[in-house]
Amino acid sequence: MTVIVLTNCPVGLRGFLTRWLLEISPGVFLGAPSTRIRELLWAEVRECAGQGRALLAYQTDNEQGYAFETHDHIWHPTDHEGLTLIHRPSPHAPRPQSGTAPAEVPRQGWSKASKRRRFGGR
């Protein structure tokens, strides 16, 4: 079983994937291609994703029973004592600069409007 999830990718890439996989939800593709086809599809996704992000998950013969790969995600697969886990960076850590515009870290806390609504101030 193979699952590919696309975010903000060109429509043509989605059309290409529908030749081999079933799109069960917008940007979510599911199927059971051979290993060779899966690797070719993933290479095409990485090449054509543009500014978008992609995630590949597939069944394999390991301790977990599956493996996954990411493309342009801030979450990255990390090996931890033989298990593949997702490393989620701290919200305060600087993001990698993969695009042309600098990544902005979201501010923490309440907005001024939500404080007014919550505490009844004007």
pLDDT in tens, 49-77: 988 999 999 999 988 899 989 998 888 88
Global pTM value: 0.70
Torsion of CA 66, 72, 75, 80, to 10 degrees: 50
Mean pLDDT (the chain) is 84
Cβ(9)–Cβ(54) under 8 Å? yes
What is the per-residue pLDDT across 33-52, written as a single tens digit (0 to 9) for each? Answer: 999 999 999 999 999 998 89
Say how far apart CA 110 and CA 80 lie, in whole Å: 36
